[in-house]
Amino acid sequence: MTHPRVLLVEDDPSLQRFVEMALELMPLELHCRDSVAGAIEMLQQAPVDLLITDLLLPDGSGRDLLARLRAEPALRGQARVMVFSAGLDDAISAELVKAGAWRTLAKPCSLDDLERYVNEGLTMTVADPPTAAAPAAVDPLQQHFAGNAALYQAFRASCLQQFAHDIEAGEAACRARDGQALRRLAHSLKSVLLTLGHAAESMDAAALELAADAADWPQALPLWQSLRKSLGALR
């Protein structure tokens, strides 16, 4: 039996792992790419049934991918597109739906929401209008992992490993004064930290994202040092 094919376009390894763990028991074939170019290359090779994309990617955005799929219907085929990103609100969701997205889902999200949306996308059953899930977390185990302690611990362990690489990437971005690289890193950390239940640290990452985007280095550098210290303290 051939399983439906799902393409995840996400450049953050921790969030890739979250989706992989969330969907591993579902009867589907999950493929991951970390860029717009990688997604297009895969779609040129074989169609997918559902495409899940972040908005902020190293070589463009989810909007760029939507525009390419709209311009080349054969590339998209019958796939539904779900935008899975942080910072979504009703206005942005409406804009993305107008651009060709089927659904939007805000990071971080619960396992139930992710599984439900994927099921709907693959069964072609739309129960609700497109919307963005509210990015709020009180108890991460219940809020995002449906009480599955083993899944939470496995995700947390993978994040702690990734944080070491994130710290190196952040230090390199600061040395090079690469505001966009630092912004992408802060954008990813904002979602990952909130998924893990670290709301204060997630807010720090959100502030860093804004400062890095504006290339406001007098503000960005101390924000990064504070966030770097927090990442190093997580065990």
Q: Which residue has the tokens 């921790």?
A: 14
Degrees to nearest 5, angle at CA 36 with 31 and 37? 90
How far is 120 from 115, CA to CA, in rounded Å?
9
Predicted pLDDT of residue 138: 53
Range(s) within the chain of domains with CATH label 3.40.50.2300? 5-135
Q: In the CATH scheme, what is the homologous superfamily, with its name and number, of domain 5-135? A: Response regulator (3.40.50.2300)
CATH class of domain segment(s) 149-233: mainly alpha
Contact (Cβ atoms closer than 8 angstroms) between residue 48 and residue 79 = yes
pLDDT category at 37 given cuts 50, 70, 90 is: very high
Residues in the chain: 235
Burial of 47 (0-12, 13-18, 19+ CB in 10 A): middle
The pTM of this model reads 0.68
Note the pLDDT tens digit of each residue in 107-149: 888 888 898 889 888 874 333 344 444 344 457 888 778 888 8
**Which of the pair, 182 or 140, is modelled with greater confidence?**
182
Range(s) within the chain of domains with CATH label 1.20.120? 149-233
| Antiparallel, parallel or unpaired: β 50-53 and 60-61 | unpaired
C-alpha gyration radius of the chain: 17
Note the pLDDT tens digit of each residue in 78-97: 899 999 998 888 888 888 88
What sections of the chain are H helices per DSSP? 13-23, 36-45, 62-71, 73-76, 90-98, 111-123, 140-145, 149-176, 179-195, 199-213, 217-233
How far is 200 from 193, CA to CA, in rounded Å?
9
| Antiparallel, parallel or unpaired: β 56-57 and 50-53 | unpaired
